[in-house]
C-alpha cells in the first residue's frame, strides 16, 4: 500500500498556514506547517516532505533563499510558491530553478490542489 503523501507548508502567516493545513488534511494528505524557512530546515521533516508549499516573503530566510539552500544540498523537493506580492523577476527565477507553480494569494483551493497533484506527480517521476 502506497504511503500517504506528506506536505510541508512554510509561511509566516499563522492564519493562512492553519487554513492551508486544514484544506490539505481534508483531502487526505499528511501535513505540517512551519513559521519560517529556518524552522523547516531545523525540523526532521525535510527528507520526509513530498511537496513543499513555500511563501516568497518571510522574515529571515526568504522562500527563494530556502529553494537555493535545498538545491545546494541536492534536496530536489517539488516546490509550490505562494505570495501576495506580484514580482515577475522572482516568479521567473523560482520557476527556472524548478518550482512547480507560483500562485498568488488569496490562493484558490482548486488551483492549490491541482499544483499539489502536479508536484506529487513530478516527485514520483524523479524517484523512478
Tens digits of residue pLDDT in 69-100: 999 998 889 999 999 999 999 999 999 999 99
DSSP-assigned letter for residue 2: P
| Domain locations along the chain | 6-127
Instruction: Enter the CATH code of domain 6-127.
Output: 3.40.50.2300
Percent of the chain with pLDDT over 90: 89
State the pTM of this model.
Answer: 0.94
Give the confidence band of 38 by pLDDT, cuts at 50, 70, 90. Answer: very high
Task: For residue 102, count other CB atoms closer than 10 A to its CB.
Answer: 20
Dihedral angle sign, alpha carbons of residues 45, 117, 111, 77: positive
Tens digits of residue pLDDT in 91-124: 999 999 999 999 999 999 999 999 999 999 987 7
Amino acid at each position: 500500500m502506497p504511503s500517504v503523501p506528506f506536505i510541508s507548508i512554510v509561511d509566516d502567516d499563522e492564519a493562512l498556514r492553519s487554513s492551508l493545513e486544514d484544506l490539505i488534511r481534508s483531502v487526505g494528505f499528511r501535513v505540517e506547517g512551519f513559521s519560517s524557512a529556518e524552522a523547516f530546515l531545523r525540523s526532521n521533516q525535510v527528507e520526509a516532505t513530498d511537496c513543499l508549499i513555500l511563501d516568497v516573503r518571510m522574515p529571515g530566510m526568504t522562500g527563494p533563499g530556502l529553494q537555493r539552500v535545498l538545491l545546494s544540498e541536492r534536496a530536489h523537493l517539488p516546490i509550490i510558491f505562494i505570495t501576495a506580492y506580484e514580482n515577475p523577476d522572482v516568479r521567473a527565477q523560482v520557476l527556472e530553478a524548478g518550482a512547480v507553480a507560483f500562485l498568488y494569494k488569496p490562493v484558490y483551493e482548486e488551483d492549490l490542489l491541482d499544483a499539489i497533484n502536479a508536484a506529487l506527480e513530478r516527485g514520483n517521476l524523479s524517484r523512478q
